[in-house]
Structure 1
Amino acid sequence: MIETVLGPVAAAGVGRVNMHQHLLSDASALSRPGAEPAPADQRVTTANLGFLRWNALALADNLRLDDPRLAAAELRHAAGGVDLVVEDTSIGLGPDHPALPAISRAAGVHVAVAYGLYVTPTLPGWARDLDEDGVHRLLHGALTDRVPGTDYRAALLGIMGTTAAFPAVERARLRAAAVAAAGAGASVGVRLDGDSRTGVEVVAELTGAGLPADRILLTNADEYLDAAYWHDLLDTGATLEMCFGTECQHVGRMRNPSDGQRLDFFEAFLAARPDGRWVLGGSVWTKAQLRRYGGEGYDHLTTRVLPELVRRGVAPDRLAAMVTHEPRRLLDRPSPTVDPTTTPAEEAHHAR
């Protein structure tokens, strides 16, 4: 079964899945001054889109998806193209979990929630102060009881945030997530730092705590289009996630590849690695990406990207694996494999 915000659904009945989206979020903790003076109107408007393409983090309003009615209207455009989207907004990025069921109903699209902790600077104090066992209890509860503030369970854990330094606190959170997910038969999504090459080490931390490698999803792999690194990551047994539609930059801090660059790289890599496992997503996380403000919207993956992959000769069975079979495998929840009450400290003791 796949846990959704409206209750569990049979995995076999789910068709296309967009594995990475944000419906309601607040990433304003990531805001930074731009390289040019900000416009007088600090809201996202069509007049400000040119500024935002080069200064994506400069307007806090751009980093907030805060209108449930707009989210439902935007998601409705994806209905018919996908059966289910994964809402990937971690704690630290301002999730609004209680509002998601109404959005799912209004849009006519299943919504599954990933629940996790993003990077430390974004976290509220209560989450930042959790020790390893506290993180385990929080994440285990979201998988087996309910996401806090709601009456539904998380489908998987994520996005767990990591940074280039990969400090002890991030390692502890990953161990806690691994034990919680293994106990519930769930998967864990992790965002790797795009400027470092710690991915193999991250996977080892998770598998060392008892999570099978095939239950690890490395999100946003499009942020590091490095073929040698991708080979190393796939060799661990993890699944890579390729997102499309985020082409913004913030001069001196962030520069996303274009979708053309993503498609060229991905096309070549698919040919070189026929045994690899991928899922596809969109990662709309700014207002400027919404249709309302001139962006590509939540249907970009199915309206433009999948047809382009077909045009480039990607076989239908490979596309089906990426948008249906692999997502269903990662989201489907089999019976627990370890005692769900075991804490990370106890699990480490049993492993010795």
Structure 2
Amino acid sequence: MANSSSNLSGKIQTVLGVLDPEKLGVTLSHEHLSLDSSALAWPWKEEKFASQVHTPVNLENLWWIQHNPYSNCANLRLFESEDAVLEEIKFFKSNGGCSIVENTVIGIRRNIKFYKQVAMETGVNIVSGTGFYVESSRPNTVSFTCEKMAEMMKSDILDGADGTDIKCGVIGEIGCSWPLRGSERRALQAAAHTSTETGCPIIIHPGRYHEAPTEIIRVIQEAGGDVQKVVMSHLDRTFQKKDDLLEFAKLGCYCEYDLFGIEQSHYQLNAAVDMPSDAQRIQWVKALIDEGYEDKITIGHDIHTKHRLMRFGGHGYSHILINIVPRMQSRGINKKSIDKMLVDNPKKWLTFK
């Protein structure tokens, strides 16, 4: 192997190589730069507006896509807009951004060569993920054993991913459904084993149910994983009650609010959930801080569709830095707490044990 877990200890691994944690800087902990999730498109069964399913994303149909983002196939092919992403990451850099965790894994078309290109052309540190997305996205890997999954993850971290020498620095996002499916459970177990062996951090995409995050943590713990190295993503759309959130926070993993920029309350993937606004996300984050969990919060946008890019009328990767940070300050969240969410917590999480 070209690398070993021993010489990664105390370091962060980016697509350009090993990084001193002190150089990580302002970090978005959950984003995508290039992916294809069109295979997971939400079926559109009504004849009315059926023509919108296969139309290109533009300002003329944005009114429909904003409410039905997962039913327009072109919207789910972010890889078609890599030039727009590259320009946005340059803009992110100009606004004080330093690093991005890229969470695309098997099932949604990782492009690790492009992530390296972005890092080289923008100067932004890119940490790429290894692992497996939800079972329905990857029919060819459903039969894989836990051992095979772990072997593949370890190779991505120590040798290089997708036939390259570009190495991954985070396990995930590991995709989980509700209820948790067999292959997803094995992926979680493999993530725990790989993390224990290599020291690599983990990030999770939980199922869309309030009990899902706790179940996932239990699986990871039972497999010997270190919960302190785990980020639980998408809590924006998972917990609807403060008591549930605070009870979960006691488990010790990082709590992530990573859908900043989505101001559409209707959540197409789970109509029973009212998606919070950015103002409400700030309130949830403040609640965690007020209860003593400021060392366990990470944030991001989880941009994974075209309509959230600036070119298509969206908020873009700089939204948190330009808009959310000032709003947090106006709502009583001090600079120290903001720096923890954007700098200190990502640094601690991403540093290999």
TM-score scaled to structure 1, two decimals? Answer: 0.89
Residue 8 (structure 2) aligns with: none
Residue of structure 1 in register with 2:78 after alignment: 65
Partner in structure 2 of residue 280 of structure 1? 299
Please tell me the residue identity of whatever aligns with 2:296.
R
Aligned pairs for 1:80-91 (under 5 A) are: 80=94, 81-91=96-106
Aligned length: 333
Return closer, same or farther for 1:268/1:25 CA change in 2, 3 Å cut-off: same
Partners of 2:263 and 2:157 in 1: CA distance? 33
Aligned match of 1:52: 65
Percent identity of paired positions between Structure 1 and Structure 2 = 24
User: What is the letter of the counterpart of residue 57 of structure 1?
Assistant: Y
Q: Please list every run of 5 or more consecutive structure 1 residues that lacks an aligned counterpart in the other structure.
A: 335-352
Which of 97, 103, 121 in structure 2 is aligned with 1:106? Answer: 121
CA contact (8 A) 1:33 1:58 kept: yes
- Say if 2:78 and 2:305, in contact at 8 Å, map to a contact too: yes
Unpaired runs of 5+ residues, structure 2, are: 1-10
Q: How far apart are residue 261 of structure 1 and its match?
A: 2.4
1:306 to 325, 328, 345: 325
In the TM superposition, residue 148 of structure 1 has moved relative to its aligned partner by 2.1
Shift of 1:47: 0.6
- Other-structure match for 1:241: 256
Q: Counterpart of 2:187 in 1: which secondary structure? A: helix
1:266–1:251 distance in 2 versus 1, CA, 3 Å: same
Whether contact under 8 Å (2:246, 2:288) holds in the other structure is: no
RMSD across aligned C-alpha pairs, in angstroms?
Answer: 1.9
**Residue in 2 aligned with 1:330?**
349
CA–CA distance in structure 2, aligned partners of residues 287 and 155 of structure 1: 25
Aligned to 2:42: 32
Q: Which residues of 2 match residues 218-237 of structure 1 at below 5 A?
A: 218-225=232-239, 226-237=241-252
Sort the Cα spacing of 1:57 and 1:185 in 2 relative to 1 into closer, same or farther, 3 A.
same
Question: For residues 151 and 49 of structure 1, do their structure 2 counterparts lie closer, same or farther at Cα, with a shift above 3 Å needed?
Answer: same
- Residue 262 of structure 1 deviates from its aligned partner by 1.6
The CA deviation at 1:270 is 2.5
Give me the whole-angstrom Cα distance separating, in 2, the residues matched to 1:122 and 1:231: 31
**Equivalent residues of 1:246, 1:284 under 8 A apart:** no
Counterpart of 2:68, as a letter, is N
Q: Quote how far apart the aligned CAs of 1:62 are.
A: 0.3
Q: Residues of 2 paired with 1:5 and 1:143: CA distance?
A: 10
TM-score normalised to structure 2 length: 0.89
Amino acid at match of 1:21: E
Structure-1 separation of matches of 2:49 and 2:306: 20
Any residues of structure 2 matched to 1:186-197 within 5 Å, and which?
186-197=200-211
Aligned partner of 1:23 in structure 2 is 33
Residue identity opposite 1:277 in structure 2? K
Residue aligning to 2:112: 97
2:199 is aligned to: 185
Offset at 1:195?
Answer: 2.2
After TM superposition, the structure 1 stretch with the greater mean CA deviation from structure 2, 190-199 or 138-147, is 190-199
- Structure 1 residue identity aligned to 2:262: T
Partner Cα separation in structure 1 for residue 287 and residue 214 of structure 2: 22
Preserved contact between residue 3 and residue 9 of structure 1 (Cα < 8 Å): yes
